[in-house]
Amino acid sequence: MGKTLLYLFLLLSFAAQSQIEQGTYFSEAIGKNIKKYTKNSQKAYAEHNFEYAEFLFDSLINNVVNGSYLDNFKVRKLSGRKINLYKFKKPLYLMTYASWCTPGAGEIPALNAIAEKHYNDIDFVILFWDSKENVRKSTRAYSSKIHIIYVDEKENTHDHMVEVMKHSLGFPTSFFIDENKQIVDVRRGALHPYNEKYEISFELNYNSFLNGISLLKKLNDDDNTRLASKKNP
């Protein structure tokens, strides 16, 4: 009897340790909290309490999402070929998007400039929730250093991960993910009017992207100087 209890204790201890080492996946972490967050967030926006809405988002990210691991799921390249998201082996900058989102004048050029400079160290990926036809029309301006993938929800009506990732945080949303697929941070896009002048839009987006990828790699002196000058004009 004593040996049986000892065996059960060791088995349970090993299982608990294994679960800690494996960590929690994004879909699991967000799934436990998203209903309450959505309810409170929608109420805050309805009452025009935008500051509280942002507080709720930041709390969800910092206390629930960060530290979880990105689920692996199938996506399509523009060629139509299916691949697993884990195909990308470098630290990952993943932006979720949709063809009906209207980028600011400098958003895509700023991301292109960042990707051209840092693609050797980071995989830049734009994930569209849309059909192949719409994605093709919306991605012509992106650099070849940026990977364009898409998920057509009509093909994935029973995919829990697709449902959770698409409908939980909205888009565009940026995920900063290390080489072990652990989520380091999640951020919304740079907030500014979409009719902002190109130069201002470019600068705001460039520094927003640069600040994000600084979580994934050590930036060189030129990059750090640009960030410092933006923070301390």
* Per-residue model confidence (pLDDT) at position 159: 64
* Per-residue model confidence (pLDDT) at position 32: 83
Class of residue 111 by CB neighbours under 10 A (exposed 0-12, middle 13-18, buried 19+): buried
* Per-residue model confidence (pLDDT) at position 14: 33
| Strands, sheet with 82-84, edge to edge from the N-terminal-most edge strand | 82-84, 74-77, 146-151, 123-129, 92-97, 173-177, 183-188
pLDDT means per 10 residues, the chain with 233 residues, are: 41 36 80 87 92 92 94 90 93 91 90 96 94 90 95 70 76 91 88 76 92 84 55 44
Give the Cα separation of 178 and 89 in Å (integer).
9
CATH H superfamily, domain 73-231: Glutaredoxin (3.40.30.10)
* Per-residue model confidence (pLDDT) at position 7: 39
Non-local CB neighbours of 38 within 8 Å, separated by 6+ positions: 168
Which pTM value belongs to this model?
0.81
Domain boundaries in the chain?
25-68, 73-231
* Per-residue model confidence (pLDDT) at position 226: 57
Phi, psi of 44 (to 5 degrees): -65, -45
List, in sequence order, every residue forming a beta bridge with 76; answer none if it has no partner.
82, 150
